Structure 1
């Protein structure tokens, strides 16, 4: 569903939207309309989430495929590539992903308010910021082996991880660009081109990885080079689409000097957004690092890395659902339709719960064969089968919180969610994991139980936050945010505050 195809640059809240908004609360009070609205919303979300799920899985598979190829070279190669990937995620990918997620709020609400010109400006600011941030991050990647050894990781594994990340530095810059393009298109409901480009890239990556790792005998370096090629190829495909497709003709007008002004409007959301994402992602990667301190580091690190990579792959389904609800909430709030935003969230919660139960069942059923995809070692395969039921529970909880977090990003609650994630993962999850793994000697399973404790706290906190939300107030905040973005480039958007928002009809907005 390419929402940009039929865009017309009309003023915000034209006559059609005006009638819809004024009737928004009344329609929800009429029982005959609620069921039809929910069904329509479910179809719309699934139509958007389906391609986003595929995109998430395919783009995440780039690193997963590389780890798989290295895994069949031996236990040391698997451990080195897994540790390198974890370190790269902690010190690079998660930071860029988090900062780019600010576009879900900014671009999503601007699109809902029909201020299409702002989308291109927001994306250009994000690109400039992420490319700049990537420079110091690349220095950290270059020193991977030194940092890991100083953290008392196994010397041999750390050396291999350092080699992998040094060869993968170019992918850091491509990853930042890719995340900006993804959010730019996603918030406009343009998802099929992303799915096609990701599919072509994943196919290319498998072939290139096989050639470089096995055919040319480059081993772990070949897998890193394959990552570089694949990420930049995906960026190239999406950039060509944005440049020449009619779907983006109103949201992308070429490079503009306006992107160099009012960086604060982006950074105000980008920094807490990065903190929010990093707090969550870092906790999982920290579990892998902690596994290197257990009695059998090669086995424990391999199993935990397989578990984390598997969880991220399953998590990509929830990321697709979270991306869909983020776009729906931000679009509706930007359009000044709070009740429709609330309905979208209710529908997304039902879908997330259904998906979580299904994925949990499949995870348990596949526990005896899953480890064989990553390793030929029988000890690794048996250990993976043992930990999979815990993985099923964490998948359920993580999927649910992902959808709730997506709605939070659509509202612009990144700062609140950063505090929630801080408490859930670093006050509850990590201390619990250390206690269970090292003091009670449960090993990798103890580390994973600690993560489950943190996820439970996160879910409870997000449910409480959403239950206390005044959606009318959130719509007003979205309108004001779009106005401020317009003023930042010298454009007044007073038409955004049309008669739908007068105090008589919406006293909560005043």
Structure 2
């Protein structure tokens, strides 16, 4: 699984230190520089798109198996999965976003051993966070019933969430392993282990759900088994691959030092991610309060799933630019970081336009993938126009979010998301849906307003960025981490 011979030379500076000043005087980059940067980003983005998709498929496959158990079991599993995503998985992903900054910049600065130290520190923090999350999941049924959900569905969701608890710990470790590898530009092992795990997940689900007769409990346990398998594969790769020899030197007590510095970026990163994810889930819940809630909730759920699926494409680019910016800033090459930013923005613009055009052209047939009822298909066709507009903005903000993580702007991102979604998007969506009676279209228009605001604010921050100053901040962050890791507790 060693990809050193196949990948572009990502460690070699795209623009050498001696060239930085010359380029600044010229005010432009050569065509070769731009093509080389695009190649590096695509090499990272392509596999990361598939890794994100495969990771999502694990839980989707489990819910599909539960669907053959019965309608009540399916409703409970779907609700439990959504609850787990909102209360647990999104929080872990957000906290782990701090590694984009710490590991990426440390690797760029060639402080390879610190990449492993930061990762171990994240593992320690995330595993601690998993303990209260496990307690929360153990009471899922009571919590859902308290908020007025159907008692039978709540009880089923409670059982599924209870058996999902063993999943949260390997999921936390897996997120840390992914960041550890991708910030070092090692992506092929991730896609191979994720692919094998996803294939193995199907017979695992069948064995537990059907063969052993565990039903929805077996499907929930299958998630944990698959994530642990993926963890094991990646742990073996990290331990024995020469690619990780310098960055992983074994577990160290240094990981327990300077936790507060990690939390200073991890907490805003979690807030930044959670505020965005929660707003989309809130819109689906609000759809249930509209007149004709069955069709409104169904169509909005279809819209959300469609938006999530196409979002995997720019998400890969967002992860790639996060790595590139952090690496270049950590290496003290601000002009190369600036080039990486604008190459990513141009590429995601082309991607967004193409995908939006496909969504518009296929809007009249997409609904048939989910329903044969004409009113649902027609409603989905109308929503696809709004989804196309959303993707034009969502793709750009994904890349801008990646830039923010690479620079360490998580606090800025958290403030922007709070304002964009909860001061602009959700109030506008509620006003249009319930006061102007626009229904689900009104709610989604609020989402578009939120994403537009988020994109504009992040774009302003990016355009105004002083890359020389950001490189100095990165160097200071790496130096401070080194000093702190060698101090006595």
Superposition TM-score, scaled by structure 1 size: 0.87
Deviation of 1:371 after TM superposition, in Å, equals: 4.9
Partner residue, 2:124: 128
Alignment of 1:292-311 (within 5 A): 292-311=288-307
Q: Are the structure 2 counterparts of residues 284 and 234 from structure 1 closer, same or farther at C-alpha, using a change threshold of 3 Å? A: same
Q: Are the structure 2 counterparts of residues 75 and 297 from structure 1 closer, same or farther at C-alpha, using a change threshold of 3 Å? A: farther
Partner residue, 1:56: 52
Tell me the alpha carbon deviations over residues 352-400 of structure 1, each in whole angstroms, 9 at most, x when there is no partner. 1111112223333444554555567776555544433322222221111
Partner residue, 1:363: 359
Alpha carbon RMSD of aligned pairs, Å? 2.7
Tell me the alpha carbon deviations over residues 123-176 of structure 1, each in whole angstroms, 9 at most, x when there is no partner. 000000000001101111122222222222333433333232222111111111
Q: 1:204 aligns with which of 195, 200, 207?
A: 200
CA–CA separation in structure 2 for the residues paired with 1:353 and 1:255: 42
Q: Are the structure 2 counterparts of residues 150 and 88 from structure 1 closer, same or farther at C-alpha, using a change threshold of 3 Å? A: same
2:30 aligns to what SS in structure 1? Answer: helix
Matched, 1:467 2:449: no
Partner residue, 2:32: 36
Partner residue, 1:119: 115
1:189 aligns to what SS in structure 2? Answer: coil
Tell me the alpha carbon deviations over residues 178-199 of structure 1, each in whole angstroms, 9 at most, x when there is no partner. 1100000000000000010111
CA–CA separation in structure 2 for the residues paired with 1:380 and 1:489: 58
Alignment of 1:246-325 (within 5 A): 246-325=242-321
Q: Are the structure 2 counterparts of residues 143 and 379 from structure 1 closer, same or farther at C-alpha, using a change threshold of 3 Å? A: farther
> Is the contact made by 2:105 and 2:327 (CA closer than 8 Å) also made in structure 1?
yes
CA–CA separation in structure 2 for the residues paired with 1:32 and 1:461: 26
Which runs of no fewer than 5 residues in structure 2 stay unpaired?
Answer: none
Matched, 1:83 2:79: yes
Tell me the alpha carbon deviations over residues 430-468 of structure 1, each in whole angstroms, 9 at most, x when there is no partner. 112222223333333322221111001001101111111
Higher mean C-alpha deviation, range 204-213 or range 451-460? 204-213
CA–CA separation in structure 1 for the residues paired with 2:122 and 2:346: 33
Partner residue, 1:437: 433
CA–CA separation in structure 2 for the residues paired with 1:379 and 1:208: 38
Partner residue, 2:346: 350
Q: Are the structure 2 counterparts of residues 441 and 411 from structure 1 closer, same or farther at C-alpha, using a change threshold of 3 Å? A: same
Partner residue, 1:487: 483
Q: Are the structure 2 counterparts of residues 296 and 177 from structure 1 closer, same or farther at C-alpha, using a change threshold of 3 Å? A: farther
Higher mean C-alpha deviation, range 197-206 or range 466-475? 197-206
CA–CA separation in structure 2 for the residues paired with 1:359 and 1:72: 33
> Is the contact made by 1:272 and 1:414 (CA closer than 8 Å) also made in structure 2?
yes
Partner residue, 1:9: none
CA–CA separation in structure 2 for the residues paired with 1:112 and 1:268: 21
CA–CA separation in structure 2 for the residues paired with 1:350 and 1:156: 50
Higher mean C-alpha deviation, range 318-327 or range 210-219? 210-219
CA–CA separation in structure 2 for the residues paired with 1:438 and 1:112: 51
> Is the contact made by 2:3 and 2:189 (CA closer than 8 Å) also made in structure 1?
no
Equivalent pairs, count: 483
Matched, 1:95 2:80: no
Tell me the alpha carbon deviations over residues 255-301 of structure 1, each in whole angstroms, 9 at most, x when there is no partner. 00111111112111111111111111111122222233334555444
Partner residue, 2:226: 230
Q: 1:158 aligns with which of 154, 158, 171?
A: 154
> Is the contact made by 2:15 and 2:33 (CA closer than 8 Å) also made in structure 1?
no
Tell me the alpha carbon deviations over residues 86-134 of structure 1, each in whole angstroms, 9 at most, x when there is no partner. 2111110111000101000000000000000101100000000000001
Tell me the alpha carbon deviations over residues 45-69 of structure 1, each in whole angstroms, 9 at most, x when there is no partner. 1111111111111112222333444
CA–CA separation in structure 1 for the residues paired with 2:365 and 2:73: 21
> Is the contact made by 1:86 and 1:288 (CA closer than 8 Å) also made in structure 2?
no
Q: Are the structure 2 counterparts of residues 232 and 438 from structure 1 closer, same or farther at C-alpha, using a change threshold of 3 Å? A: farther
Which runs of no fewer than 5 residues in structure 1 stay unpaired?
Answer: 7-12, 492-510
Deviation of 1:202 after TM superposition, in Å, equals: 1.7
CA–CA separation in structure 2 for the residues paired with 1:71 and 1:290: 25
Partner residue, 1:327: 323
Deviation of 1:27 after TM superposition, in Å, equals: 2.3
Partner residue, 1:501: none
Q: 1:476 aligns with which of 457, 469, 472?
A: 472
> Is the contact made by 2:367 and 2:380 (CA closer than 8 Å) also made in structure 1?
yes
Tell me the alpha carbon deviations over residues 325-372 of structure 1, each in whole angstroms, 9 at most, x when there is no partner. 000000000000000000000000011111111222333344455455
Q: 2:23 aligns with which of 24, 27, 50?
A: 27
Q: Are the structure 2 counterparts of residues 155 and 304 from structure 1 closer, same or farther at C-alpha, using a change threshold of 3 Å? A: farther
CA–CA separation in structure 1 for the residues paired with 2:76 and 2:83: 10
CA–CA separation in structure 2 for the residues paired with 1:310 and 1:17: 38
> Is the contact made by 1:87 and 1:285 (CA closer than 8 Å) also made in structure 2?
no
Partner residue, 2:423: 427
